[in-house]
Amino acid sequence: MFYTVREGRLFSSVQPPATLRPLLALRSELLPPTISQLHASLSAWGAIGLSPGLITPDRIWGSLAGESALAFFFDPGYSPQPLGHLGMARELAAWLVLLDKWMETFVVIARARSIWSVQELAGALTFTSRPFLPAAIVHMPPDNWERVAQALAQAVGDGPLRGSGHLEKHWN
């Protein structure tokens, strides 16, 4: 079963939404604005208090444009569960390491800063190490978790983003 969040509501379907493809198939087409959209789509899960489950590339379907850019596959008999007291920290850590395998670290973290609070990023930093990451991500080249942890620590240390400029200004 595939689950996606749209407009603050959870939707399910037997097949992936028609506009989505396996995230692994999109990796060479990712651009910074797409990273922002994907971050926002993952954040929508946390906003409704649900976990998308283990973040592994084989479970994630995505889109290069638009809202609801992510769907997660769940094995039969499983469905999204409420977030625990850690919020999305563990999922976010895995997500950042996964995206960093295909996009520059600076872009992944800078775009994450525009979506998640410093506290949420600090929570993810706790889980950005080999023992806490899903094995599928740890064993997927490159071995990048340390690089992500360092960049995330720097972003947390820098504090909240300042200014009100449009994030996509340099793309338009």
Q: Check pLDDT > 90 for residue 42.
A: yes
pLDDT on residue 61: 96
Averaged confidence pLDDT in the chain: 91
Cα separation, 116 vs 122, whole angstroms: 10
User: pTM higher than 0.85 for the full model?
Assistant: yes
Q: Check pLDDT > 60 for residue 164.
A: no
**CB contact set of 130 (below 8 Å; sequence gap of 6+):** 138, 145
Domains of the chain: residue spans and CATH: 2-158 (1.10.510)
Q: Check pLDDT > 80 for residue 111.
A: yes
Helix, strand, coil share of the chain (percent; to 5): 45, 15, 40
Cα separation, 37 vs 163, whole angstroms: 20
